[in-house]
Structure 1
Amino acid sequence: MKTIARCLSGGLSFGLLLLAKIAFSQTLTISCGAVGAELSLCKEAVSAWTKKTGHQVEVISTPNSSTERLALYQQIFSAKSSDIDVFQIDIIWPGLLANHLVDLSPYTKGVEKQHFPTLVENNTVSGKLVAMPWFVDTAFLYYRKDLLEKYNQPVPTTWQQLSDIGKTIQNQEHEKGNAQLWGYVWQGRAYEGLTCNALEWLSSYNGGSIVDNNGKITVNSKAAESALSLAGQWVGQISPPGVLNYTEEEARGVFQSGNAVFMRNWPYAWALAQGEESAIKGKVGIVALPKGGPEGKHASTLGGWQLAVSKYSKYPKLAADLTLFLTSYDIQKQRLLKGAFNPTIKSLYEDQEVIAAAPVAKTLVKSLEQSVARPSTATKSKYNQVSNLFFNAVHNVLAGKEAPKQALKKLEKKLKRIKRKKWN
């Protein structure tokens, strides 16, 4: 009887402990992107944190378009809503959203020193660490190794070369009945992704940025005119007319189904292109984006995403713990090996398992040295307006609505009107 009593007592104690744990368990919400394997990897990592802490997390997917996502976030912050505790934010948003975000410094215990200093600096606004780096991006040129070999063509080093090679292979494949093949796919929709593409074109032609580091408007230049003139020729020639509505996933869909020679995209597309269900598995190469010409340079827009805690969260300490877990060494390594999301922790690039499994990581380090930053720091709170004007002007050129010279001149006037005496 005593044994039974002890068993009942033990079972009761365990039950009480379980009830206590459930009673103290909180539920957080996190917004995650859904590009490629993003959403599934986010859910996987969140499940590991739930198992570790006993707290629950609801994962909320957000629009793939960064422009649409920002609009959604601003609406949530404007309402001071506690509906989302942890936000996945773009590299260009910390300054814009800082007033709505928690300073993570009291929770990090200095772990941010493991990350690339430039990213930590980017996420520090007025001395407050408002976001933790999660993954860093820089764009690559993806190419079909098999098609270049088939037609004895080199990997292009300039945009003009890409245009010529893409057209040559596309035309010859069309003659052989492969009418669906296009020379080049990229992100041409009027959104932030087009700002990234067009900024690369300008920089590769030595045209600088839209606004320089000192806040001077520099977009109306001969180099920018040359860059946009060539890009405008791609639509309907080596790029499908529908490219004007492509984001990252539409471009990847065409390329991964075997219907494009070249593609501009972020590193995440590498793992998917090598997946078991990919039509081009083993047929893809990656290289730096082309130069604007013999005197130009390779240029890739610096991208990436961070995790930030909402100032309106009911559980800021818990949300900070989740953020630090998701941006940790082990989780970033897992995301790299499974989804090609490149780490923000420097030491991971020396990890032998990473080196063996992810050749993209080595290429990324080189590409980071050629990266060009969007002028979000120089234009401060006006960056979103600046980018909107820029990608709409570029889109008008690509759609044949305006000549490059005319579009750039009008853009310069609009930017001056926004800036006035200074950016603020």
Structure 2
Amino acid sequence: MKKAVLISTLSLAFSAGAASAQGVTLTFACDSVGSGYDQCKTGADAWAKKTGNTVRVLQVPKETGDRLALYQQQLGAKSKDVDVYMIDVVWPGLISQHLADLSKSIPKAELDAHFPAIVKNNTINGKLVGVPWFTDAGVLYYRTDLMEKYGYKSAPKTWAELETMAKKIQDGERKDNPRFVGFVFQGKNYEGLTCDALEWVASFGGGSIVDANGNVTINNPKTVAALKTVQGWIGTIAPQAVTTYAEEEARNVFQGGNAAFMRNWPYAYAAGQDEKSPIRGKIGVAALPAGPGGKPAATLGGWQLAVNNYSAHPKEAADLVRYLTGREEQKRRAIEASYNPTIASLYKDQDVLKAVPFFGSLYDVFVNAVARPATATKSKYNQVSNAFASGVYGVLTKKQTPEAAAASIQAQITRIKGRGF
């Protein structure tokens, strides 16, 4: 997306909370995926009402790469326009120099309630640049009614089982609905494809692209086997158009009643259970399948809240972050919109488990998710991710063989490493 277009997407929407004459106005670059904007606004409005301040919530680009480009542009210019940013779990190392240290703004007892690994991820050179807000891991969605209709009693445990089930359900449903497909996921060439493809590779035992020591490991037989399997889905159980799908495109197909299975993040559950959803009450959630001899793998996602180091109101901005990342607000968001809390105790909260039952059954999936190699590749992560996603995209679009793609990705990332991770 061009710079001018990116900037134009930031249409401001003012929160409804009225501020007192003494209050300050904060600008919050939050979320645009699913119900993300509305949820951000609800939380920000509650803080504004409590404190007598005002919060402007920005409408930001949906795709993470577009958001990052915009934020880097703003922060690089030391702009004060945005006070609080919602940042991806892989961004702290990329933009930490522009973010305020929040270690003294959040009481230790509150910080200790969050998953320690995420707090560690957000701590760069001893500086806490982001407070965990919600975590994510890829999960498998499936139609419980169609599973029963076609004689299946449980979700697929392997990718081979998923293929078989998806094909049978697809063939049966197409008799009445020609648009019906077996499986949808994030196949567009962007960060979401990096997440999906890492799950495929890791579930086959092919590693995590770059290991913890910085060794480039992607070109191996198990990676090739994973890519061959996925390439075989295109045009069979997955539509050709899946190579244009991000999260929302996949969700719209599944939630519209036109797919048997979907890979997505937990936020899609609440949307699918909305009272206006055609598949309300017909959604199952399970761990993603495993490859031959491998085990299920879910890519770690999630978002943090950070304060712009150039903010004119750092104290108030930090207080907004503290409120939004606190236990009660995380609980509200979990119940209303199925956002995974970063506070461990909420996974045993009965109100949360009633609203989102799979938070309990898939707890191990969330806490043992596979991290993208952002720590090992440091400031070069974006280049590494782009090389990986582009290579996998070539496989999905059948412009490259799995063998050639794995070798090409290995060579590109090795060159990036040569310039220094």
Whole-angstrom CA distance in 1 between matches of 2:417 and 2:310: 31
1:267–1:360 Cα contact (<8 Å) kept: no
Q: 1:373 to 1:326 in 2, by over 3 A?
A: same
The one-letter amino acid of 1:303's match is: G
Map 1:160-309; keep pairs closer than 5 Å.
Answer: 160-174=160-174, 176-293=175-292, 295-309=293-307
- Residue 399 of structure 2 corresponds to 401
Whole-angstrom CA distance in 1 between matches of 2:54 and 2:362: 35
- Residue 134 of structure 1 corresponds to 133
1:225–1:408 Cα contact (<8 Å) kept: yes
Whole-angstrom CA distance in 1 between matches of 2:345 and 2:164: 40
Q: Kindly state the Cα deviation for residue 365 of structure 1 after the two structures are TM-superposed.
A: 1.1
Map 1:294-333; keep pairs closer than 5 Å.
Answer: 295-333=293-331
Q: Kindly state the Cα deviation for residue 135 of structure 1 after the two structures are TM-superposed.
A: 0.3
Q: Secondary structure at the match of 2:133?
A: strand
Whole-angstrom CA distance in 1 between matches of 2:176 and 2:66: 39
2:231–2:395 Cα contact (<8 Å) kept: yes
1:134–1:306 Cα contact (<8 Å) kept: yes
1:138–1:303 Cα contact (<8 Å) kept: yes
Deviates more, 1:228-237 or 1:355-364: 355-364
The one-letter amino acid of 2:365's match is: S
- Residue 335 of structure 2 corresponds to 337
- Residue 38 of structure 1 corresponds to 36
- Residue 157 of structure 1 corresponds to 157
- Residue 15 of structure 2 corresponds to none
Whole-angstrom CA distance in 1 between matches of 2:315 and 2:100: 10
The one-letter amino acid of 2:341's match is: P
Q: Kindly state the Cα deviation for residue 186 of structure 1 after the two structures are TM-superposed.
A: 0.3
1:361 aligns with 2:350: no
- Residue 408 of structure 2 corresponds to 410
CA root-mean-square deviation:
1.2
The one-letter amino acid of 1:164's match is: T
Whole-angstrom CA distance in 2 between matches of 1:372 and 1:279: 33
Q: 1:368 to 1:412 in 2, by over 3 A?
A: same
**Runs (5+) with no aligned partner, structure 2:** 1-18
2:47–2:323 Cα contact (<8 Å) kept: yes
More helix as a share of residues: 1
Q: Kindly state the Cα deviation for residue 366 of structure 1 after the two structures are TM-superposed.
A: 2.0
- Residue 104 of structure 2 corresponds to 106
1:86–1:319 Cα contact (<8 Å) kept: yes
Deviates more, 1:351-360 or 1:322-331: 351-360
User: Which of 347, 350, 375 is the aligned partner of 2:348?
Assistant: 350
Whole-angstrom CA distance in 1 between matches of 2:93 and 2:362: 25
Whole-angstrom CA distance in 2 between matches of 1:340 and 1:225: 35
Q: Kindly state the Cα deviation for residue 126 of structure 1 after the two structures are TM-superposed.
A: 0.3
Q: Kindly state the Cα deviation for residue 369 of structure 1 after the two structures are TM-superposed.
A: 4.4
1:331-367 CA distance string (max 9 Å, x none): 0000000000011111212222222222131134121
Whole-angstrom CA distance in 1 between matches of 2:341 and 2:409: 36
Q: Percent identity?
A: 51
1:114-161 CA distance string (max 9 Å, x none): 111011001000001100000011111001111111111342111111
Q: Secondary structure at the match of 1:188?
A: coil
The one-letter amino acid of 1:359's match is: P
Q: Secondary structure at the match of 1:184?
A: strand
Whole-angstrom CA distance in 1 between matches of 2:75 and 2:362: 34
User: Which of 29, 54, 57 is the aligned partner of 1:56?
Assistant: 54
Deviates more, 1:210-219 or 1:368-377: 368-377
Q: Secondary structure at the match of 1:106?
A: coil
Q: Kindly state the Cα deviation for residue 422 of structure 1 after the two structures are TM-superposed.
A: 4.5
The one-letter amino acid of 1:159's match is: W
Whole-angstrom CA distance in 1 between matches of 2:366 and 2:65: 24
1:189–1:246 Cα contact (<8 Å) kept: yes
Whole-angstrom CA distance in 2 between matches of 1:363 and 1:63: 33
- Residue 9 of structure 2 corresponds to none
1:298–1:370 Cα contact (<8 Å) kept: no
Q: Secondary structure at the match of 2:405?
A: helix
Q: Kindly state the Cα deviation for residue 296 of structure 1 after the two structures are TM-superposed.
A: 1.1
Whole-angstrom CA distance in 1 between matches of 2:253 and 2:58: 27
Map 1:24-35; keep pairs closer than 5 Å.
Answer: 24-35=22-33
Q: Secondary structure at the match of 2:104?
A: helix
**TM-score (normalizing by structure 1):** 0.93
